[in-house]
Chain A
Amino acid sequence: MAVTWQVPAHAAARDLERALGDPSDPDAPVSFGALVECDEREEPPSGGFEALRARGVHAHLVPRAWGGRLTSFDELLALVRVVSRRDLVLTTGLGSTMLAAIPVWAWGRDDQRRQVAGLLLDDGAFGSFAVSERDAGSDLSATATRAEAAAGGYRLRGEKWLIGNATRSAFVVTLARTRRSLSLLLLRPDRLPAGSCRRLPRIRTLGLRGHDLGGITFEDCPLPADALIEPAGRGMEMALTTLQFTRTMIAGMALGAADTALRLALGWGCARRLYGEPILAIPAVRALLLGSFLDVLIGECVAMVTARALTLAPRRTSLWAAAAKYLVPNLCERVVRDASVVLSARSYLREGIAGGVFQKIARDVAITSIFEGTQLVQLSLIAAQLGQLARAGHRADAPVDLDRLCDLSSPAPAWDPPSTRLRIGDPGGDELVERWFRRPESGSEDLEAGPRAGAALRLLRCQATALRTALAETTGPGDLSLARRHCVLHAAACCLQVWRSNRERMAPEAAGGEWLALCLERLTRGAEEAPAPGHLAEPVSAWMLRQLDEGELFSIVPLELAR
């Protein structure tokens, strides 16, 4: 079946995918074999970064206004997925750079923006977002690095630790204490006096062995007054707003890793013969792989909605990006774990299938639920915001148009960085959950996917009612189980709304909604229960196998992969 529904936001990813070639081909510009060799030597995948530079990937980190190609975040999300399906080390290097660049685009002065744009567009440079410290971590208010007022500017003192691109960054955005509060400062290590900005040795890690993770020490480092990203004193708020963009992209990283894991496991399921037939014929294996496909589809719906919300519903993303960062890495890590069950002993080898890349993915993907705030940090952010919504109600602001938010046929508007407001809490509501689960009858007329979808929907509505009661009775943000329950409802609502807003253009396998019914069931069960075989599972399994055979990304939206 030919790919018919082309989503405009995926055009750049399709081009990049074709240019990067099939990673299982050892002669491709970015191949699993070469990436595993870099990993074995604990070296950065320089060839991979060079291939990305040569194909202009850095321009996608620079907004149009400063000469780049960054437009909407649904476009960037698709790019992140196709690079991440090859190697998370590549997207971690680029993601750390993006983290440092976002506050410059959003709040920097024009000369600061032009400087960073030049570094990215001309040199394909790396950047560092130097926020965390040995004794601070997620508690930004414990930041000890200080930028004291000195003649003509600041004197910076302190150590930043667990910093991406720490030994190779051409520009650094750092968080430091100014007078009463914290501020962000942009600096160029190559322009500082010798010894005042010292890069620490690379830190060894379980996965991402080719990533440049390290630290930076500032010793009486003189900075001009114009190093400040204004306004002074809003560094923490800028950092937390910035993370809403990059946390959404981490969902894309996790989805890329999950795609390769599932592709390898499903390919193995078809090729491996035991007891006289392919192991895919074993019901438990088939169910495990189908469950993984559903996890990818759920994660994709959440990620796409959040990426579009960054420009279509920016007030909601303090809540939704935290939910995406909690949900999608969890789902994708389960995909990788289940793939290792199917691959069995092969999952443990550093050679063989696809150059032995699976064990590397299994180590690498673990970072997605750790960096930029662990799962507990995300749940705490969500709990605080749900508490605030329960306490103060939904404040008047423009309601989010859910059909526009989720209609993938029209790209989300381009990001306009100077209009980015600092917003870290009080999200105003979650229309997705309200639309689908607030009123007893809401939306059920749309569900043609049969009685099982209806039953799952009724169960989710009961769960939503119970959650509202619990939130009204809770006194503090301490109960993270409420945040977890909200995330499940949010994920289900994303699946429902993506289906609702796109079903007329979807491939027949997606338009029918069998996948939707299975995803809703999977979310209501919450646990590790495999999808039941039967009239819903059969067509969805067939769809998954067709995507494998025809070389498409595992997705609701067709995206052809390089062959």
Chain B
Amino acid sequence: MSAWTQSELLPRLRDAFAGYLGLEPAEVDPDRPIAELGLDSLTAAQLALDIEDRLGVTLFLNDLSGQETLAELASSALGEPER
């Protein structure tokens, strides 16, 4: 389980997404659905692995492909672990 709170996690997720999208963190809108950010599924899956490595937060590909926003993702990412 992650030690982050949601307010700590969100800016870090923004940084990670920005790095992958070639944008500045401020350009990544946390209230826009992730599907609209323009990552293909392979790259999104690699992003999830990087986030796990760097932040210890486990995301799955389906978390990154949907209509959720980054802000919603930050709270749901802190939920129950897979087993």
Contacts and interface: CB of A to CB of B under 8 A. Distances in A.
Interface of A: 141, 149, 178-181, 183, 231-233, 236-237, 240, 318, 381, 384-385, 387-388, 391-393, 395, 422-426, 476-477
A384 B82 contact: no
A178 B58 CA distance: 15
Contact of B42 (A179, A385, A393, A395): A385
B67 interface: no
Contacts of A476: 38, 40
Nearest to A475: B38
B43 A425 contact: yes
B1 to A, nearest CB: 13
A231 B19 CA distance: 26
Contact of A384 (B42, B61, B63): B42
B83 A424 contact: no
Contacts of A384: 40-43
A236 B50 CA distance: 15
Contacts of A393: 22
Contacts of B75: none
A180 B60 contact: yes
A504 to B, nearest CB: 39
Given A233-B58, A387-B40, A181 B82 contact: yes
B68 to A, nearest CB: 13
B22 A392 contact: yes
Contact of A424 (B49, B58, B62): B49
Contact of A231 (B38, B42, B62, B82): B82
A179 B61 CA distance: 13
Q: Which of B19, B45, B47, B63 has most A Cβ within 10 Å?
A: B45
Contact of B20 (A178, A318, A385, A426): A426
B21 interface: yes
A248 B23 CA distance: 34
Given A425-B45, A426-B50, A179 B20 contact: no
Contacts of A240: 45
B24 to A, nearest CB: 12
B20 A388 contact: yes
Contacts of B22: 391-393
Chain B interface size range: 20 to 34
Given A180-B62, A395-B19, A426-B20, 6 more contacts: A231-B82, A232-B83, A233-B58, A391-B20, A392-B20, A392-B21
Contact of A181 (B46, B47, B50, B60): B60
Contact of B46 (A149, A387, A425, A477): A425
Contacts of A149: 83
Contacts of A426: 20, 43, 46-47, 50
A337 B58 CA distance: 48
B29 to A, nearest CB: 17
A393 B18 CA distance: 12
B82 A232 contact: yes
B49 A388 contact: no
Contacts of B45: 236-237, 240, 424-425
Contacts of B62: 141, 180-181
Interface in B37-74: 38, 40-43, 45-47, 49-50, 58, 60-63
A105 to B, nearest CB: 19
A180 B43 contact: no
Contacts of B43: 384-385, 387-388, 425-426
Nearest to A381: B42
B21 A233 contact: no
A519 B46 CA distance: 35
Contacts of B47: 426
Contacts of B61: 141, 181, 236
Nearest to B50: A426
A476 B43 CA distance: 12
A295 to B, nearest CB: 29
A232 B83 CA distance: 5
B60 A424 contact: no
Contacts of B42: 381, 384-385, 424-425
Q: Which 10 A-B pairs have the closest CB atoms?
A: A425-B46, A233-B82, A181-B60, A232-B82, A391-B22, A392-B22, A384-B42, A425-B42, A384-B40, A426-B46
A144 to B, nearest CB: 15
A141 B40 CA distance: 14
A426 B44 CA distance: 10
A231 B50 CA distance: 15
Contacts of B82: 178-181, 183, 231-233
Nearest to A391: B22
B60 A391 contact: no
B49 A233 contact: no
Nearest to A422: B49
A180 to B, nearest CB: 6
28 contacts: A141-B61, A141-B62, A149-B83, A178-B82, A180-B63, A180-B82, A181-B62, A183-B82, A231-B58, A231-B82, A233-B82, A236-B45, A318-B46, A384-B40, A385-B42, A387-B43, A388-B20, A388-B43, A391-B20, A391-B22, A392-B21, A392-B22, A423-B49, A424-B49, A425-B46, A426-B46, A476-B38, A476-B40
A111 B62 CA distance: 31
Contacts of A181: 60-62, 82
Q: Which of B19, B43, B50 has most A Cβ within 10 Å?
A: B43
Contacts of B21: 391-392
Contacts of A318: 46
A197 to B, nearest CB: 22
A180 B80 CA distance: 10
Contact of A423 (B40, B46, B63, B83): B46
A233 B63 CA distance: 12
A149 B49 CA distance: 24
A178 B82 CA distance: 8
A154 to B, nearest CB: 10
